[in-house]
Amino acid sequence: MSRNSIESKNKSFFPTLNFTKINVIELKKNHLNHFKIKIIMKTLKTIFAILSIAVFTVSCSNDDDNSPKFQTENPLAAYYTQTGFTTSTNFINSGDYEFGLVFTPTVKGKIKAITLKLPATNPSLRVTIWDYTTKTVLRSETLNVATADVEVKKEISELALEKDKKYLISMNSNDWYKKNKADNSATTYPIVAGNITFNEYRWLSGTAQTFPTTVSSTYNAGDLSFDFQQTE
């Protein structure tokens, strides 16, 4: 074979070889780009899923924020205004009694705290919340009245109350404020005080935790009340 023939053959071979290398490189580049695109798409899908969850969570949170907000109320001041019991007399060491007010919530709600003020100190005063119909104890709490004539508030584990159901809150004490009208005349029940309707005042002599049986409409012995919050 002549030298010219060999050179001619080599010239025809090497361009083909170079073209093949270029194709392989391009193929690898295309494959790499395709792989990168798949990773990017997968990442975008993940980000989109996370954003969707975040938007849903914020939406639910906003829905919760739009739920009704009910104010806490203490009905005692309104009770005294409606009854006209504006005359107050201190009774101290005047005999032990279980006494308090029967009430009915006109909405579903909960008692969050008990409030109490006495004309004398008492480190362990018992307060009871009763089911009026069954006369059973729903909650019993002990309050420390460290200072006379200063209101004490005790936050309690929330007690759910049913709408239009009667309850009684009472305390056992030998000290109290007697609140009545100036002419000692009777008030007319029921007394509406916000979302709480007071039905009557009851009392019973003794220290036992017994449902009070005697009803009076000419006065209230206090000051015992509670913080109530509507729930729906």
Structure tokens at 145: 């009245």
pLDDT band at 143 (very low <50, low <70, confident <90, very high): very high
Q: How do residues 157-191 score in pLDDT, each as one tens digit? A: 999 999 999 999 999 999 999 999 999 999 999 99
DSSP H or E run through 91: strand 87-91
Is a pLDDT exceeding 60 seen at residue 213? yes
pLDDT at residue 56, rounded to an integer: 47
Backbone angles phi, psi at 160, to 5 degrees: -75, 135
As a dihedral over the C-alpha atoms of residue 115, residue 120, residue 123, residue 126, rounded to 10 degrees, the angle is -50
8 A C-beta contact, residue 131 and residue 138:
yes
pTM of structure: 0.72
Cα–Cα dist 77/75, whole Å = 6
pLDDT at residue 59, rounded to an integer: 47
